[in-house]
Structures are given as structure tokens and as C-alpha cells.
Amino acid sequence: MNDHPPFIIKYMALSCVMLWLSACGGGGSGTGMLSLSVTDAPVVEDVDVCIHFTGITLHHADGDLIRVPYDPASYYNADDGCSGNVPLDDPHAVNNAVDLSSLQGELSVSLMDALEVKAGRYNWIRLDVDESLSYVVDSLGQQTLRCPSCAGEQSGLKLNRGLTVPAGGEAAFMIDINLAKALNKGPTGDYKLRPTLRLVDMTNFGRIKGTIAGSLIPEMISATATGCKVYAYAGHDITPDDYHPADNVLASASVLYDAGSATYQYHLAYLPTDVSVDPTPYTVALTCDDDDPEVDQDNTPVTIAGDAVIFSDGSTGGAARNADVYSGHTTRVNFPSEI
């Protein structure tokens, strides 16, 4: 496995002629420009994940379905699925194979770049997936990847949060695919992908960055990977929780060793902000324990168990730290605060 295992996504070949006429000009409500990008929260297990996307479907509030498909003929080395696709010289050119698992921090890849679509409110977005061409590679080799919500006429990887494209204007959003929760390994060794995604308005987001004291890092998994993560929660004074079906984790970031500065760093990007209450309150917490997204590993001090996910900042100030995040800015939170 690589330090940053590839989650490979086909880059969409988009053309206005692929859309409904109403989406490409002349519609009664006018048109606007829509951009969609994708990033990834860190996966729990060291695996390579290949997902073959076939397009994007947008559901307009007036009932129209706007479909933006791939053109299979335009794939670069398409017959080889994910394994044989080599990025072209231009990292933003169409038909790239993209290593999504390396898109930590603020790295991302564009899926839809300033495409003219019908203006107005959209109720949901769906990332359409070809399950038969998707798979996972773990330490035992290539495994089946099932996407129950993607089969047949099902909903695919669907974001039920709406968005608005202004007439004559532009809208840009980031899709964060949280593999730590979305990817689950079954008892037979195969994997299941669930639609665990969040949508971030690119006009209202901030970041939290910081460093981690070396004394808090128990071991190194590779030259850069520590196995530790920093979790983010919406609001101040939130009790840290692990990943599980009913958790309150908004996002997480891997703690990585930077040889240039000889420091352990993390970077939480694309944290939604509310300009009406700027700054937006967040809580962050550090853990170096394994986290099973299928199980609520109770970390309440009163009922702490041997297999619990324990959060610690290495000080007597508690396991979590409050952070005030401003739109367009970076807030620094170190563990512990004096480093």
C-alpha cells in the first residue's frame, strides 16, 4: 500500500450538448455557471479504492432532472478501468485518473468546472456510479466494492442538501466524500460504499491547521503517516465522539509528518462558516486510536473501555479544544497549545 492509497475517480468530460436544452441556454429561469469539486476525508484502513463514476445528476426544484454524463469514448485508457489510467500532463485536464485519497487538507479535483446550467434551486445532487467497474485493493488483494444505493435505478451517491445557481451568476461547491464512514468492510472481506458525503459552499468556508507534539505520537505507520487524526465538531465545548452511525463528527484530518519542518501537522479544510455569526464555533480533538465506524466505541470517561477511542491533547486541559473559524481564514490549534 502507498502512504496515500489511490481512490481513483474518472474526470468528467463535460459538454453543453450533453445537457437538456433548458440547462444550456434559453430556459425560462435563465442560466448560471456551476462548479463542483471533490475532496476526501481520510480513510480508516490502508486501502486503494477505485470508484468508477458515470456522471452527475442534478434535480431542479421545478422537477427537471439535468444529467451530466461521461463520454466513455473520451476516457484515457478507459478499457483498463482504474488501474491503467495514468494522469495527463495537465492535472486539471479532462479524463485524468485522480488519486482522491491523497486529497487531504485543501487539495481537491474539479468534477464540473463553470458549466452553464439552468438557474434556480436544486433539491439534490447525485454522483452516478458503475458498481461493476469499482473495487477495493487491500493487503489481501483486489476485493469487491458494492454500492447498494447505486444499483439499477437507485439513488447513487446522493447529497440531499440543496443548492442554488443564481441567474447570470456563478455557484461553486465542494463535495467531501468521507471514506472513513462511507467505506465499510464486510465479514467476507468485500466492501460496501454508502452515500456519506457533505456539500460545502465555496464562498463560506474556513480552515483549522496545527501541529502535534511528538510525545503524543505513539508510532509511525510509514515515513509520513502517524495513524493519528484530528476530529472536528460543529459548536464549542462538544464532547469528542468516535465515528459510528449516530456520531456528531463533521470532518477529520490525518496527522502527517513533514520532514522539511520536522513537525507533525494536520489540516482541516472546507469547514462551513456562517457569515451571520462569524466566527463559526468548532471543537477539535486528537486521537491516535483505531476507530471502527460500524461501532460506537464509547469514550465517556466514566464508562471507558479497553477498546475505546480515546481523545487526548497531552495536557491537563481536557481532550478537546474550541476553535473560532472565520470565512476565508485559517485558525491555528496546536496539541498541546504551547507548541
- Residue 251 CB coordination number (10 Å): 25
- Which 3-state string (H, E, C) describes 82-97? CCCCCCCCCCCCCCCE
What are the C-alpha distances in Å from 106 to residues 2, 41, 205?
Answer: 20, 11, 11
- Residue 154: what pLDDT? 60
Split at pLDDT 50, 70, 90, the class of 70 is low
Highest mean pLDDT among 10-14, 99-103, 291-295: 291-295
Tell me which of 97 and 333 has the higher pLDDT: 333
- Please tell me the distance from the alpha carbon of residue 161 to that of residue 179, in angstroms, as a whole number: 19
- Spatial neighbors of 177 by CB under 8 A, at least 6 apart, are 7, 38, 39, 40, 41, 100, 157, 196, 197
Q: Give the Cα separation of 238 and 278 in Å (integer).
A: 19
Separation CA 158–CA 124 (nearest Å): 7
Q: What is the pLDDT of residues 188-202, one digit of tens each?
A: 888 888 888 888 888
Domain locations in the chain as residue ranges? 7-202, 206-332
C-alpha cell at 48: 486503494
Q: What would the pLDDT profile of 263-289 be if each residue is shown by its tens digit?
A: 999 999 889 998 788 899 999 999 998
CB burial of 56-75 (b: ≥16 within 10 Å; e: otherwise) equals bbbbbeeebebebbbeeeeb
**What value does the mean pLDDT of the chain take?**
75
* Model pTM score: 0.74
Cis peptide, bond prior to residue 336, ω within 30 of zero: yes
Q: Do 81 and 9 meet the contact criterion of CB atoms below 8 Å apart? A: no
